[in-house]
Amino acid sequence: MSEDDRFAPKAPEQPPTPSGVRSRPRATALNRFLGGSPGGVFLRLLFVSLIVGAFLMWLDIRPLDIFRGITDLINRIWGLGFDAIRVVADYILAGAAIVVPVFLVLRLMNMRNTR
């Protein structure tokens, strides 16, 4: 082993797989995105959808009511137009008047304590 090889990063060693046990399939981009195999994720979503759907039907909430409510919310926000942006900007400025000075004081105190 040369001197340069001593400092080279080594690949983590995998423990041997017992005979008769299949190794895990390589995680594809789709599996990583979904959080599991597509079939398994589909079955979990199907089961959770059944439970949530039964609960919503018990509360007498229909899917059309949910979509209608979302559409109404978007229309109300659209109707507010630039007034909504002005109100949000006022909230941000009012909050920043307190948050920014407190942040700066805390950062200055933290810098003083590290010396």
The pLDDT-based confidence of 94 (bands split at 50, 70, 90) is very high
The answer for residues whose C-beta is within 8 angstroms of residue 70's C-beta and 6 or more apart is: none
34 neighbors 41 (Cβ within 8 angstroms): yes
Instruction: Supply the pLDDT for residue 43.
Output: 92
Q: How far apart are CA 46 and CA 64, in angstroms?
A: 19
Is 13 within the bounds of a domain? no
Determine the average pLDDT of the residues in 97-111: 87
| pTM: predicted TM-score of the whole model, two decimal places | 0.44
Q: How far apart are CA 113 and CA 107, in angstroms?
A: 10
The verdict on 108 and 81 lying in the same domain is yes
The pLDDT-based confidence of 60 (bands split at 50, 70, 90) is very high
The verdict on 57 and 70 lying in the same domain is no
The verdict on 54 and 94 lying in the same domain is no
What is the tens place of the pLDDT at every residue in 35-53? 888 898 899 999 999 999 9
- The total domain count for the chain is 2
Q: Which domain holds residue 51?
A: 28-61
Instruction: Supply the pLDDT for residue 51.
Output: 93
Determine the average pLDDT of the residues in 65-80: 86
Please say if the pLDDT value at position 10 is more than 90: no
In the 8-state DSSP scheme, what is residue 55? H
The pLDDT-based confidence of 33 (bands split at 50, 70, 90) is confident
The verdict on 67 and 53 lying in the same domain is no
The verdict on 55 and 69 lying in the same domain is no
